[in-house]
Amino acid sequence: MFALNQVSHIEEPWLQFKNLLVRQLAFCVCSPNILSHIPSEMVLKHAFQFHDDAVWRSHFQNYHSRLLYLDQHPQELENFLQQLKSTRLGLRFEMLVWFWLLDQDYHPYQLLGHSIQKIAGPKTLGELDFLLLNTETQAIEHWEVALKYYLAELDCSLPYWYGLNRSDTLLRKLNHFSQKQFQFEDALEHNIEQRFAVLKGQLYLSVGSTVSTLPNWVNKQRRLGCWGSDIPPQSAQFYRLQRLEWICPEQHISSDTAQWWSNGLYLQKDQNNFYMYRNPPLLSQAIHRQFYENCLFL
């Protein structure tokens, strides 16, 4: 069931830290994007790109000493995250990226603005997550950041990756980047020269899928999870992750062995294998409804 995840070359340096917040910060800084490149079948209205994996490895190396310090003295990070009143993981991810970008001694970016609203008269056109000056290239960069969890259904082609909310699909998110979020030519009186999507999180294959079925744009440097509607045979080896652990699990097991299963993310002890359990009746209803809706447009 989980053989496809047991890949020795995957690096997960965020797991070396003890404090949960620091583990999450390290994940946000150094984990690769879940996509290695933009799928070739996409037609982009406004072009953007993903950072190479080597860029994130370099950021981690530059930030490592700071992370070690925060692991022993996390109060500054704790105080910063107290500004966040929402429990949404995507907003938490953005806050952690923001914390890192404010640590200007450890990366080549000068933060010019965060959450920049673009307004035309009474109408809000959109908002930019981050506007940066890359001091190495002198380019003005626009970053949009997102933390996403997508499950492959039917096959692994681009239209069939669904979020936990079925209106949230990978294809829809990529189109939103291109059509809406990266539409702006300038911000804060700076001409935008490069546009980057920071798209992190995890992808899940249905039980029985194999690595050979993966599209080439899936980043194989990120650990893949499995998803299904059956309790695995090794159920005693799993425990349910708390919501905040979806970014990065605690160093130690945070809950009892799973006894009563419900929709959620589970982790196999000592194996670091992730299993997204989906309730069978709800899942089948959603798939049948989606199939019916698709038939209406054939």
Name the 3-class secondary structure at 41.
Answer: coil
List the pLDDT tens digit at each of the 298 positions of the chain: 444 444 557 899 999 999 999 999 999 999 999 999 999 999 999 999 999 999 999 999 999 999 999 999 999 999 999 999 899 999 999 999 999 999 999 999 999 999 999 988 888 899 999 999 999 999 999 999 999 999 998 889 999 999 988 899 999 999 999 999 999 999 999 999 999 999 999 999 998 776 677 899 999 999 999 999 888 888 888 999 999 999 999 999 888 776 667 789 999 988 889 999 987 755 555 544 453 344 333 3
Range of the domain at 280: 3-295
pTM (two decimals): 0.90
Residue by residue, DSSP assigns 224-266 as: PEEEESS--TTGGGEEEPPGGGGTS--SS--SPBP-S--SEEE
Q: State the amino acid at position 112 in one-letter form.
A: L
- In the chain, the number of structural domains is 1
pLDDT in tens, 149-205: 999 988 899 999 999 888 999 999 999 999 999 999 999 999 999 999 999 999 999
Q: Cα(184)–Cα(153) distance, rounded to whole angstroms?
A: 34
pLDDT in tens, 9-29: 789 999 999 999 999 999 999
Residue corresponding to tokens 């652990």: 245
For CA atoms 258, 261, 267, 270, give the dihedral sign.
positive
User: Are 77 and 53 in contact, with CB atoms under 8 Å apart?
Assistant: no
